[in-house]
Amino acid sequence: MIATRHRSKSMPRYDFTCQDCGTAFELRMSMSAYSSGEGKACPDCGSRTVERSFSAVNVIAGGTSSAAYSAPPRSTCGTGGFT
């Protein structure tokens, strides 16, 4: 299970793993706070020895999709892509 501490829903989410106890957790923080190291501490043991983790991207296949992301309809030969 990943522990979560949210600061704001509009800030980027960063995933971390504590190097001392192995806890995986996520933080929402501004890019400047991330760069400065501010607030990067394990919620379980309090250690500041944490390493950024990278999560897999959630991809949904099938179902209803937006036209902006759909493949164009198949064209018939000789129409140049226009029907």
pLDDT average, residue stretch 72-79: 57
User: CB of 4 within 8 A of CB of 26?
Assistant: yes
Out of 15-19, 22-26, 29-33, 45-49, pick the least confident: 29-33
- Burial of 42: CB neighbours in 10 Å, binned 0-12, 13-18, 19+: buried
Helix (H, G, I), strand (E, B) or coil at 8: coil
Residue 23 scores a pLDDT above 60: yes
The stretch 54-74 carries a mean pLDDT of: 62
pLDDT for residue 60 = 73
